[in-house]
Amino acid sequence: MQDTDLQKDIQLVAECGPIRVWSLVVTILGDLCQRPEDFLPGRTLNMLVERLGINNQALRVALHRLRRDGWIRTERDGRASNYFLSDQGRAMTQSVRNQVYTPTPTRNIPIRMVMAAPSVPAADFADLLPDDAMSLSARVALVADTDSQFDDCLVTAFSPQTLPNWAIDTIAPPDLCSEYTQLHSAVTQMLNRPIPASLADRTALRLVILHHWRRLILRQNVLADILMPADWAGSNAREAVMSALERYARPDLQTLRAMQDGND
């Protein structure tokens, strides 16, 4: 693939939403550096983000922010620097790994609807809910059927087959579905094109796809895949993205680090 063709493909995915450089760096290190000893040299990181249209100055600002916030740590290597996820950064990326990389989410988890009395303050009700609860209104929420106790609340089994449109829009907001549809379309087009010969190019395509998928899936409530139909926009995007991640496989880190200025 020529550079112009690569840039067209990258732009196709980039148009699916904004790229915040610090978040992109988290995506890159989270995908490529999964063990405590794994790292990317600064020049390798710069080589990858340049392919995504990001200049060195923007990368430096992002790295400074990530060090300040405790996401990454740096080790000097002569005049250069190597970048690692910190223990905190690795724990944060590991905590969402299943959500990001699972090809087929579990759909057979029972759901309960929990309703508080009108006299219960909305903030107090919110404090009762688990992190993955889906709020439908100030005092009504859907939760996975766990051992959570909800004193003085009405708790009943919930069937997603009878969702009204307003509930669908709450569970899967139209703007999120629109972005999923756009990502699905962009990735599907890329899957119909030849695979780049260059490892750096393949890795750049993998990372830009993964970044936008991660950006969207982490906005989505985890119950959406249970409550929505199997062919909803998020599921279609997941199928395309997982095919792309298999096609543009995670590179061997040592081989990637050995590359000079993006040349195989």
| Residue keyed to tokens 């190019």 | 201
Domain 111-162 has CATH 3.30.70: yes
Whether the pTM exceeds 0.85: the reply is yes
Burial of 31 by CB count in 10 Å (0-12 exposed, 13-18 middle, 19+ buried)?
buried
For residue 32, CA distances in Å to 36, 84, 106, 114 come to 11, 10, 26, 41
For residue 36, CA distances in Å to 33, 84, 87 come to 8, 8, 8
Write out the CATH class of domain 3-102+172-258: mainly alpha
pLDDT at 4: 66
Domain ranges for the chain, please list them: 3-102+172-258, 111-162
Identical fold, 3-102+172-258 and 111-162: no
Q: Which amino acid is at 55?
A: N
Alpha helices in the chain (DSSP H): 3-14, 21-32, 42-51, 56-68, 87-95, 97-101, 122-128, 165-171, 174-191, 199-217, 224-227, 233-247, 253-258
pLDDT at 17: 84
Residue ranges, the chain, pLDDT below 50: 1-2, 261-264
